[in-house]
Structure 1
Amino acid sequence: MREGQGKRWITIIALLCSLNLSAQEISVQGGFLEDSLLIGQDVNFWMSATYPPDMEMVFPDSLYSFSPFEFSDKTYFVTQIRGDLAFDSTVYTIQSYEIDKVQYLKLPAVVLNGRDSIIIHTPLDSIFLTELAPVVSDSTKLKTNLDYQLVDTQFNYPLMYYIIGGLILITIILLLIFGKRIIKWIKLRRLRTQYEQFSEVFNSYINKLKVDPEPELAERALVFWKNYQQRLDKVSFSVMTTKEILSHDFTKELDKPLKSIDRVVYGKRVQENVFQDFQQIDEFTQDRYSKKVEEIKDGK
């Protein structure tokens, strides 16, 4: 409460104390000490009563509903006895969060006299709401501010943990349901990629041998084929001789082309049709690739 307001209600109470207390009637008075209020700001409502000393007067306490106001504090003055009347007074500090332009309040005093109780209200008093901002009308123009405002960013770690946990859970579920299919698809894709790379390079060797059937070129093509066939069949073709390669049951059809290529490579003899031997090897490798694909699809 401001100092000026405090002096004001003290003066009012002092004047009330100076009233003629000789009358034998009960009188309850009250009102706002301020003329206006701001939302949420403390204002003061005074209340006083005169009554015969043999009666008991009760004023509202903090549990009373001061609607539309809210109770904040109160200052109670000790009962004074003057002549044949008693005088009580209290100042309530209250607040309002309503937006009504005029707000009203009256408070009750309860006179206890044996089994009988009498409720007497103060006169209804009003106070005006002071508006800090003008009322916005339809014609009010708002000022646009497009200046960039730098705002500190904060990473949402809890959300990140939820997303990661959800992705892990979804992955586990997918693996349990589609795990075998996914693994099979990965194997087939890798097998196809390796074969396509081999086929592209090996066919380039064959095309070159059609034009230039040199033993050195034939040797490089043979080594390249052995290395790929070794990965495909999981057999160490790269360190095997032709005889050792032909000892396997599935390589019997390579007998003629491999022996013909050996005469070119190791005998250093130019043979114009050597590319046809490599074409037979290419057909063999293609057949082995197709069988591996079927094995993977059958789950072997």
Structure 2
Amino acid sequence: MGRIGVFLLFLGLSVSSFAQSVQVDGYFTQDSARLGERVGFVLKVRHPESAQLIFPDSTFDFSPLVLLEKKTFMSQTREGETLDSAIYYVSNFSLDPSIFLSLPVYELSRYDSVTYFSTEAELKLKLVLDSIPEQPVFQENNVYQPIETTFNWLLASVITAGILLLLGGLALLFAKRIKALFQKNREKLRWIQFERKWKKLTGLLAQNPALELADEVVGLWKGYLESITDLPFQEWTSSEIAEALDDKEIFQALRSIDMIIYAGKEAKTGEATNYLLEVAKAKYQEKLNRIRNEKASR
């Protein structure tokens, strides 16, 4: 075996030993459950203390199971090895005899990430009825019940027409208010979703200023601003955005993140991401005020 062969052999052994250093274990807290019953799924990971791991959250597809709650626990480190664990409370609404679940764990590195999966855990469906008789037994009853054979179609038509007219009148009277209320609630929900995802991504970016995270943070911010202003933020450069919003600090904030994307340089992004969040919040408040003023003018 030549030098190249020996090098490849040692490289394969080192990669294999590194992959084995992360141990993922997943199992249900009970082996069977009734339809819709709350069941816990335990996810445990043992890994080197220096590794940075991320557990799946509510965005992960648990189907056919439905995620009810996620409960995390404090990390335990001993002799350079860390134990992280979480419990996912789920419900099963599938009629399949058995459901299998395997959850991923993501290890973040500087330029890439590695995904580890737990072994598949089985959850069996517990039926309430042990068996259904082939021939149903009916109770004998020879007492006849009176059945009304006529139906007043004229009265039913008048009542139905009255209800439709009433609903139509209410819809015309309150249509604009209902539309404004719907738009307001939609913007509030969109802001809550944006803010939650923004804080999660910027927190990861502050810990690990990687190119992929930086690009995702900028894309999330531009996409949200574009959705509430109808301006092409996704197509504009940082300088064009700063000029359109008449705010030079936006250019500096975006530039500090762009340095990670285009120059591959590490940067402290906390101040920049906080300022971009304030800009997004200001535009969100402007959108709510515009909806409120349109409602008042009508």
TM-score when normalising by structure 2: 0.46
TM-score when normalising by structure 1: 0.46
The structure that has the greater radius of gyration is 1
